[in-house]
Structure 1
Amino acid sequence: MGSSQKRVWVPGPIIIGAGPSGLAAAACLAELGVPSTVLEKSSCVASLWRHRTYDRLKLHLPKRFCELPLMGFPAGFPKYPTKHQFVAYMESYAAAFGIAPRFGAEVVRAERDAAAGAWRVTTRLAAAGPGPGAEEEEEELVSRWVVVATGENAEPVGAEVISGIERFAGRVVHTSAYKTGAEFSGQKVLVVGCGNSGMEVSLDLCRHNAKPSMVVRNSVHVLPREMLGMSTFGVAMALLKWLPVRVVDRLLLAAAHMILGDTGRLGLRRPKTGPIELKNLTGKTPVLDVGALDQIKSGNITVVGGVKEIMKGGAKFVDGREEKYDAIILATGYKSNVPSWLKDADEHFTKEGIPKTPFPSGWKGDKGLYCVGFTRRGLLGTSSDAVNIANDIYRQWTELSDHSTPLHHLFDFKV
């Protein structure tokens, strides 16, 4: 297969990713009159929400904590919108701000050109023409600014985390490909992971007459989604305006014990560090219970310890027990893919692809590099990043007398 490349200067920033983070940044820039070019390797906005989430998914937090800048959810949406409603909101959001991403544009390389004072972003486009001889087209976009908006959840973390899983004879699926427990009715299913996804998938399996066992390797905070009809997250945010984190953590844990009981007796040991402090330190989100705990108490969800290895017909656990299973679901989360395409990423990102500078200052790198959606603070963190990025780029934009480019003499451009 051959390849061809063209080079294009774009006057505003290049935003990589058309999920909530990329759309928020583009909208904030548009509001200030700064154009942007949004690149997205899939064929739609919010592709992770559309294609990599299970059918029963709803927002874990009330909608007022999940709105993007400048535009709220429709008034008729419920307190906890479904995934389909969230995707519809994303589509309406893009339309409202005139955001038209370049779909099918996979970024394979982004690097700073010091001599030109600009960023070169190489995208791989869909092959032109049918058949194996079709030419693969690449395009190099050049801009003063690059906004990394691929986020913390770009790629699934999968089978590589479990020894021997290649030997398993049954079905293995990551939660990114899981849709409904109806596909596993009557089966014994091992769910690897006990975060919000692991808990919800286990609950969904129960409701479709499957028999899930949920792997809990480490300690985990489980909190009720609501306390006395109020969002637990909302209560925590209100208390944090007046009280230290550790005091708020003690109050949340006391309330959780009253509502949920002693989760340690169910095999769900709590960390020594409180839920908010732990979130701030490590990014580990507490589980907000939406019904799984009752299923654990009733025995419909079995809590098991760490897996030592997977065998052809089941699993061997660290305590020496062996169990047979028909299927394995990996609720093992996602990871950033930034190091795979951003050259010299280690100057601003860790080897895991997370900004080295912690929230709230991690949104800005050096020499025109920005990132949004890496705060580990959900859509509230995304909104904060997007506003900061737009204001910073706008300040530079207004200082430039010529928004087209002073760099034509360095490149052969198609403008």
Structure 2
Amino acid sequence: MHFKTSSLSLSLSLPTHINFKHINILFSTSSFHSLCSSTTFPKEKHTHTHTHTHPTPPLPPLMMHNTSCLNIPPMVQPFDNHDYSFLSRRCIWVNGPVIVGAGPSGLAVGSCLKEQGAPFIILERANCIASLWQNRTYDRLKLHLPKQFCQLPNFPFPDGFPEYPSKYQFISYLESYAKHFGINPQFNETVQSAKYDETFGLWRVKTISTSSSNPGEVEYICRWLVVATGENAEKVVPEFEGLDEFGGRVMHACDYRSGESFHGKRVLVVGCGNSGMEVSLDLCNHNASPSMVVRSSVHVLPRELLGKSTFELAVLLMKWFSIGVVDKMLLILARLILGNLEKYGLKRPSIGPLQLKNTAGKTPVLDIGALKKIRSGEIKVVPGIKRFFNGGVELVNGDSFEIDSVVLATGYRSNVPSWLKENDFFSGDGIPKNPFPNGWKGKAGLYAVGFTRRGLSGASFDAISVAHDIAKSWKEETKQKKKSVAARHRRCISHF
């Protein structure tokens, strides 16, 4: 759209799906400013000419006041009695989707959009990609599944990587992935809220930037929003009676790195999932004495069956059999290899491991050595916690014993409900209401990647679908033409 006013000519980039008859509403003094912020502006009179055959709206006062960046004098002087501190805030129009999260899911969407030629921006609250992997995982962690089930779209793992890459190898792979596709997220940008503006048909994503070079509040305006923060954005810390009185060291598994600092200590590990099992094993390997709390039933499977990874075997069997039949096969094989685990305090759920994963998102434990330590008594399995006291813990069965430290392997959850102002697509627990494979697309340009409960392979599947759908709409709406920047100033910036 082209405006001409006296000696200044401006081109303004707008989403093409907005009808021209709505332009006057969009650029009326109050409406335009309500889109970019809640600040109100004084109404001013302007004279202008236009070259468009349609009626041309008045140039927003916001743009007319911020002409210093164009090296021209302001055409309208601000009133002396008004506060113009709002001009220091930034409002950025994104000619493409905003992707929230620079983990594997966000990177996968970005690479697929790059392949489609569609622009985008990735917002990441941390100062690096894959912050969960880099900052909140223990040192001994390896991928639980073979690498062919964990690679992202259009970029295989290096041939020299082992079948189960370490966390450091996986981080290296992700960094190479971002570099290969030229993905450069906006780091240190924490999303405070994202809300769909029905008046304009646009998403408003408000962030707090903690970047030392450009701190402050930023609002991104976009046509499409991709939620790629995943299922494990925030740690889960249950409340326990007396934990404040315990007096010993307490940490979540996301802060645990290795058992080196726990040498000779009595450690209570709360949780018996993959993290709880591996932390307990690592503590044993560093000569600590772990007790692992098993409050509910859990599926424990060998990592490999019949010379193949258990996951690979399950995928192969599901080509011919139903999920219920495959579950029974896996449990029979696991019983033959691992024996009866109930006598060690590990009771199996009534629902099979694959069905439980699909319905409740609870991942079966793939044993990499913890069971051997449990059988030998080096890892002690205990029931649920009743309360903590100074220097010890009391269990629900009445037993009490002294401990030095507590590691909470109590899992993670989605943080989507805390910032996304939307109730139709996501459920209260921050997971899309529609199960895989139909949980990637919502309404009004809202998408989700990384919530399939199927790990990295599920995230890759959704990333391809999301990128294809957005790129198709983007090409139709923009006709693959970049819009020129209308006015660059301190508060509103056109961003491509």
Give the TM-score taking structure 1 as reference length: 0.94
The answer for the alignment partner of 1:62 in structure 2 is 146
Mapped to 1, the partners of 2:172 and 2:485 lie a distance apart of: 40
Shift of 1:405: 6.9
**Equivalent residue for 2:218, pick from 136, 139, 146:** 139
The reply on whether 1:211 has 2:289 as its aligned counterpart is yes
Shift of 1:406: 12
**Equivalent residue for 2:244, pick from 148, 166, 174:** 166
The answer for the alignment partner of 2:204 in structure 1 is 120
Partner amino acid, structure 2, of 1:301: I
Alpha-carbon spacing, 1:408–1:278, altered in 2? closer, same or farther (3 Å)? farther
The answer for the alignment partner of 2:321 in structure 1 is 243
Alpha-carbon spacing, 1:406–1:375, altered in 2? closer, same or farther (3 Å)? farther
Shift of 1:347: 2.0
The answer for the alignment partner of 1:157 in structure 2 is 236
Shift of 1:243: 0.4
Alpha-carbon spacing, 1:215–1:408, altered in 2? closer, same or farther (3 Å)? farther
* Superposed counterparts of 1:262-341, under 5 Å: 262-341=340-419
Mapped to 2, the partners of 1:127 and 1:358 lie a distance apart of: 37
The answer for the alignment partner of 1:197 in structure 2 is 275
Mapped to 2, the partners of 1:212 and 1:389 lie a distance apart of: 44
Q: Work out whether residues 246 and 277 of structure 1, in 8 Å CA contact, stay in contact via their aligned partners in 2.
A: yes
The answer for the alignment partner of 2:156 in structure 1 is 72
The answer for the alignment partner of 1:17 in structure 2 is 101
Mapped to 1, the partners of 2:211 and 2:326 lie a distance apart of: 55
Q: Work out whether residues 165 and 311 of structure 1, in 8 Å CA contact, stay in contact via their aligned partners in 2.
A: yes
Higher alpha-carbon deviation: 191-200 or 388-397 = 388-397
The reply on whether 1:394 has 2:471 as its aligned counterpart is yes
Partner amino acid, structure 2, of 1:261: G
Shift of 1:136: 5.2
Alpha-carbon spacing, 1:146–1:378, altered in 2? closer, same or farther (3 Å)? same
Shift of 1:164: 2.3
The number of residues matched between the two structures is 406
The reply on whether 1:360 has 2:444 as its aligned counterpart is no
Mapped to 1, the partners of 2:485 and 2:91 lie a distance apart of: 13
Alpha-carbon spacing, 1:182–1:272, altered in 2? closer, same or farther (3 Å)? same
Alpha-carbon spacing, 1:407–1:414, altered in 2? closer, same or farther (3 Å)? closer
The answer for the alignment partner of 1:132 in structure 2 is none
Structure 1: gaps spanning 5 or more residues: 130-134
Runs of 4+ residues over 4 Å off in structure 1? 402-409
Shift of 1:167: 1.5
SS of the residue aligned with 2:321? coil
The answer for the alignment partner of 2:11 in structure 1 is none
Q: Work out whether residues 193 and 215 of structure 1, in 8 Å CA contact, stay in contact via their aligned partners in 2.
A: yes
Partner amino acid, structure 2, of 1:395: K
Alpha-carbon spacing, 1:188–1:198, altered in 2? closer, same or farther (3 Å)? same
Partner amino acid, structure 2, of 1:379: L
The reply on whether 1:109 has 2:193 as its aligned counterpart is yes
User: Computing the radius of gyration over CA atoms, which structure comes out larger, 1 or 2?
Assistant: 2
Shift of 1:194: 0.1
Give the TM-score taking structure 2 as reference length: 0.79
Q: Work out whether residues 9 and 405 of structure 1, in 8 Å CA contact, stay in contact via their aligned partners in 2.
A: no
Mapped to 2, the partners of 1:406 and 1:119 lie a distance apart of: 21
The answer for the alignment partner of 2:68 in structure 1 is none
1:288-328, Cα deviation, whole Å (9 max, x unpaired): 00000000000000000000111121111111111110000
SS of the residue aligned with 2:460? helix
Partner amino acid, structure 1, of 2:216: E
Mapped to 1, the partners of 2:210 and 2:289 lie a distance apart of: 43
**Equivalent residue for 1:375, pick from 436, 444, 452:** 452
Partner amino acid, structure 1, of 2:192: V
The reply on whether 1:414 has 2:496 as its aligned counterpart is no
Partner amino acid, structure 1, of 2:380: T
Shift of 1:213: 0.3
1:256-308, Cα deviation, whole Å (9 max, x unpaired): 01111111111000001111111111111000000000000000000000001
Shift of 1:401: 3.5
Structure 2: gaps spanning 5 or more residues: 1-84
Partner amino acid, structure 2, of 1:32: Q
Partner amino acid, structure 2, of 1:382: A
SS of the residue aligned with 2:173? helix
Shift of 1:140: 0.8
* Superposed counterparts of 1:22-101, under 5 Å: 22-101=106-185
Q: Over aligned residues, Cα RMSD in angstroms?
A: 1.9
SS of the residue aligned with 1:364? coil
The answer for the alignment partner of 2:266 in structure 1 is 188
Q: Work out whether residues 10 and 404 of structure 1, in 8 Å CA contact, stay in contact via their aligned partners in 2.
A: no
The answer for the alignment partner of 2:23 in structure 1 is none
Mapped to 2, the partners of 1:32 and 1:146 lie a distance apart of: 17
Mapped to 1, the partners of 2:278 and 2:370 lie a distance apart of: 7
Mapped to 2, the partners of 1:50 and 1:356 lie a distance apart of: 30
Alpha-carbon spacing, 1:336–1:406, altered in 2? closer, same or farther (3 Å)? farther
